[in-house]
Amino acid sequence: MSNPSTGTPLPGLRFRKRFPLLALIIERFVLSLVLLFAVSILIFGGLEALPGDFATTYLGQSATPQAVANIREDLGLNRPVTTRYLEWLGNAVQGDFGTSWASKNSVSEQIGKRLGNSLFLAGFAALISVPLAIALGMLSVHFRNRMPDKIINVISLAAISLPEFFVGYLLILVFAVKLGVATFPATVYSSMGFAERLNAIALPTATLVLVVLAHMMRMTRAAILSVMSSAYMETAELKGLGAFRSIVKHAAPNALAPIINVVALNLAYLVVGVVVVEVVFVYPGMGQYMVDAVTVRDMPVVQACGLIFAAVYIFLNMIADILAIVANPRLRHPR
Query: Going by C-beta distance under 8 Å and a sequence separation of 6 or more, which residues neighbour residue 272?
Result: 309, 312, 313
Q: What is the pLDDT of residue 189?
A: 58
Does 102 map to a domain?
no
Higher per-residue confidence, 132 vs 10? 132
- Same structural domain, 248 and 161: yes
- Same structural domain, 170 and 33: no
Least confident of 49-53, 185-189, 329-333: 185-189
CA atoms within 13 A on the CB side of 127: 9
Residue-wise pLDDT tens digits, 199-238: 778 888 888 888 888 888 888 888 777 777 766 666 666 6
- Same structural domain, 227 and 194: yes
Please say whether the dihedral angle defined by the alpha carbons of residues 60, 66, 70 and 72, taken in this order, is positive or negative.
positive
- Same structural domain, 170 and 69: no
Q: What is the CATH number of the domain that holds 259?
A: 1.10.3720.10
Q: What is the pLDDT of residue 182?
A: 66
Residue 41 has pLDDT above 90, yes or no: yes
Q: What is the pLDDT of residue 39?
A: 93
Residue-wise pLDDT tens digits, 151-194: 888 888 887 788 888 888 888 888 888 877 766 654 445 566 77
Please say whether the dihedral angle defined by the alpha carbons of residues 69, 74, 79 and 81, taken in this order, is positive or negative.
negative
Query: Going by C-beta distance under 8 Å and a sequence separation of 6 or more, which residues neighbour residue 182?
Result: 171, 172, 175, 176, 199, 202, 203
Residue-wise pLDDT tens digits, 102-132: 788 888 888 888 888 888 888 888 889 888 8
Domain boundary among 38, 59, 93: 93
The model scores a pTM over 0.95: no
Q: What is the pLDDT of residue 42?
A: 92
Number of Cβ within a 10 Å radius of residue 241: 15
Q: What is the pLDDT of residue 34?
A: 94
- Same structural domain, 144 and 252: yes
Q: What is the pLDDT of residue 252?
A: 67
Does 104 map to a domain?
no
- Same structural domain, 195 and 288: yes
- Same structural domain, 136 and 77: no
- Same structural domain, 179 and 72: no
In order of 40, 69, 98, 309, the CA distances from 87 in angstroms are: 12, 21, 10, 20
Domain that holds residue 84: 18-93
Domain boundary among 59, 93, 127: 93
Residue 239 has pLDDT above 70, yes or no: no
Q: What is the mean pLDDT of the chain?
A: 79
Tell me the angle at which helices 20-49 and 11-18 cross, rounded to the nearest 10 degrees. 110
Higher per-residue confidence, 243 vs 129? 129
- Same structural domain, 184 and 257: yes
- Same structural domain, 217 and 280: yes
Domain boundary among 58, 93, 128: 93
Does 26 map to a domain?
yes
- Same structural domain, 42 and 156: no
CA distance 223 to 153: 15
Total domain count, the chain:
2
- Same structural domain, 123 and 80: no
Q: What is the pLDDT of residue 186?
A: 46
